[in-house]
Chains A and B, each alone.
Chain A
Amino acid sequence: MSIVETRSVRKHFGDVHAVDGVDLATKEGEFLVLLGPSGCGKTTLLRMIAGLEDPTGGEILIGGQVVNNLPPRARKIAMVFQSYALYPHMRVFDNIAFPLRAQGMPRAEIPHKVEWAAGLFGIEKLLHRKPRELSGGERQRVALARAVVREPAVFLLDEPLSNLDAKLRTSARDELQQFQRRIGTTTIYVTHDQVEAMGLGDRIAVMQGGKVRQIGTPQEVYDEPADTFVAGFLGSPPMNLVEIPDCLLGFRPEHFLPKEAHESRDGLLALPFHITRIEYLGADRLLYGALEGKFPGTKVISKLASTVSTLVQPGKTQDFAVREKDLRFFDRQTGLRTRARPV
């Protein structure tokens, strides 16, 4: 049993409510991503689960047991830090062996175990180096090996990829996911990068202002955002939001296409679009401009895949449209999702 659960967990720093009543429960062996902008409380929540911060209120359960009063070492967790936090004065071997020695494993078993963990990440050849002699990617692997070595019940990862360069990050993401699938340990992963979150997570908990705004599979949070924050935070560019008489109308830029680019003419909401600027991004084109007709002046963005061959030109007003089933409606006051209605 290695399910992590938080029950109305709160953390206040003076008047700042860093985490403001979070209820979460992972599933067994799940890869759960905490996603949100900086300052949303995701790292604080992770640190409370690790036992590095004391919650102001609420309960944290690991494997069904309340762990609020347990120190980190008694929680059967392992954590990887954004900075990797390798011990700079120890060789890689001693870094990985450190948790084993701390838990009092017999001396003779340690080398075997360290080699096993190093083997998982292909760093057997680095065991005699000091952390400063390693590249960023190698340090990250050492940090992961140190986390894995004592076979924790839960992995906590705090933006472990953010210090890698873009190319390495993609391959590291792939390796990380394969590794997690293989060992099947419940993992909580904190990031502010939506691509990472979408790519890695079984489920994503989107956080803002110390609260969880929505929790669901990547597809759910992207396709069915629970409120305007989630709609705006996920997706690049974010969902277009248009004020209509009694609510907010949302649609994704990639659904906002020239009329003739839609497969069918039925069930379309026509929106004349005055294009002011076009960004050519290779695989896509981003069209910036404003609506005309029913909702004049509202700024929106359209994202055309390179497969859309319709001619678009800046300075012109063209017939654009969104399929009605791709429309999302939000309450104007609360920002929460509301039922669909005719526009």
Chain B
Amino acid sequence: MATLGEDLRAPAAGRRFGFVLDRPEWLGPLMIAPAVLYIVAIVGLPFLLALYYSVSDISMGRRTLGFVGLRNFISVVPTPKFQTSLQNTFVFAIVSQVLVIILANILALALLKDFRGKWLVRLLILLPWVAPISLGTIGWLWILDSIYSVINWTLEAVGLITADGWPMYLGKPYLAMGSVITVHVWRLLPLATVIILAGLTSIPKDIHDAAQVDGASFWRHQFQITVPLIRPILLVALLFGLVFAFTDMVVIFVLTRGGPYDTTQVLASLAFFTGIQGGDLAEGAAIAIFLFPLLLAVAIVFLRIARRAEVT
């Protein structure tokens, strides 16, 4: 027995590091450290910096940095530009998310069934997500162009519009908002579809069979069985989508730059134009973090509902 004990001890000295990896209290922090470092460096620090900028008088090319309290907010919030952008942000985010959730549900349901060429359809649906956003959006820029639009060209070819009646998708206020929402929906649809598909496949087949035997019609089946059962995951998809829509500006920046006449300007793009292109870093920061408390509240509420709704 004595020799056995020594045998066990002997390699321990030589492989101390190996044993560290065997201990959960070390291994856990070690594994998660890269992610924490990454988030602190790329998200945390800039966020804190933006928070500080928003209550300072910093601008590009100035070396001093003074604390001014809420002055930036007080001066920018009442401006018509800000008010329009705020309104647009909500229209853009809410309309696009309603569309995304409805379409993603339909797509996910369709993809749940087996049919020939399913892999191809899945690939096509995922494509907008894997393509770089700005690249895809530039494609849309051409599709929606006032002179080269393939949509208008097709509509004219089938006789639905005349040559002098071409809609200016990006040049008219409502059409422009419709266009940016459409492209944003196109872009977020794959993610939402995949999330919802994951939720749908997690429902046991017996539940669907039982609903069928119990006599549920298609709509009853969808709205009383399927949707409630995927509600937690649906809320997560919605939360992701809302945060994306409230904070992202790639689509708007590429397609309209907030135009025409700020009718598609959202807070994210306004912050960029004011802070980076206009050089007023302090006001840009104030615009950028204006919605942060709201988004935080939305995230907390959603995650709470999602957790409470967890069934089985």
Contacts and interface: CB of A to CB of B under 8 A. Distances in A.
Contact of A98 (B206, B214, B311, B312): B214
Contact of B213 (A72, A84, A131): A72
A78 B206 contact: no
A103 B215 contact: yes
Contact of B204 (A71, A83, A103, A150): A83
B233 to A, nearest CB: 13
A303 interface: no
B46 to A, nearest CB: 41
Interface string A73-98: 10001110111111111000000001
Interface in B182-223: 204, 206-207, 209-217, 220
Interface residues on chain A, size class: 20 to 34
B225 interface: yes
B228 interface: yes
Among A87, A99, A103, A132, chain B packs the most CB atoms within 10 A around the CB of A87
Given A130-B311, A146-B214, 4 more contacts: A83-B204, A98-B214, A98-B216, A102-B220
B311 A132 contact: yes
Contacts, number: 69
B172 to A, nearest CB: 45
Nearest to A104: B215
A81 B213 CA distance: 11
Interface string A36-80: 000000000001001110000000000000000001110001110
Given A85-B206, A102-B220, A73 B213 contact: yes
B229 A85 contact: no
Interface string B48-68: 000000000000000000000
29 contacts: A47-B209, A50-B209, A51-B212, A72-B212, A72-B213, A73-B212, A73-B216, A77-B213, A79-B209, A79-B210, A81-B206, A81-B210, A82-B206, A83-B204, A83-B206, A85-B204, A85-B209, A87-B211, A88-B207, A88-B311, A89-B311, A98-B216, A99-B215, A101-B220, A102-B216, A131-B312, A132-B311, A132-B312, A146-B214
Contacts of A82: 206
B209 A99 contact: no
Interface in B220-256: 220, 224-225, 228-229, 231
A79 B213 contact: yes
Contacts of A130: 311
B240 to A, nearest CB: 23
Contacts of B231: 89
A297 to B, nearest CB: 49
Interface residues of B, number: 21
Among B209, B210, B217, B225, chain A packs the most CB atoms within 10 A around the CB of B210
B212 to A, nearest CB: 5
A89 B213 contact: no
Interface in A120-141: 130-132
Contacts of A89: 228-229, 231, 309, 311
Interface of A: 47, 50-52, 71-73, 77-79, 81-89, 98-99, 101-103, 130-132, 146, 150
B312 A50 contact: no
A73 B231 CA distance: 26
A147 B291 CA distance: 52
Across chains A and B, which 8 residue pairs bring their CB atoms closest together, nearest first? A73-B215, A85-B206, A85-B210, A102-B215, A88-B311, A99-B214, A88-B312, A79-B213
B213 A50 contact: yes
Contacts of A71: 212
A47 to B, nearest CB: 8
Contacts of B216: 73, 98, 102
B212 A52 contact: yes
Interface in B24-59: none
Contacts of B210: 79, 81, 85-87
Contacts of B215: 72-73, 99, 102-103, 150
Nearest to B212: A72
A52 B209 CA distance: 7
Contacts of A51: 212-213
A108 B237 CA distance: 38
A50 B224 CA distance: 22
Contacts of A102: 214-217, 220
Nearest to B220: A102
A99 B228 CA distance: 17
Given A83-B206, A132-B311, A78 B229 contact: no
A71 B212 CA distance: 8
A117 to B, nearest CB: 13
Given A83-B204, A87-B225, A89-B229, A78 B213 contact: yes
Contacts of A150: 215
Nearest to B217: A102
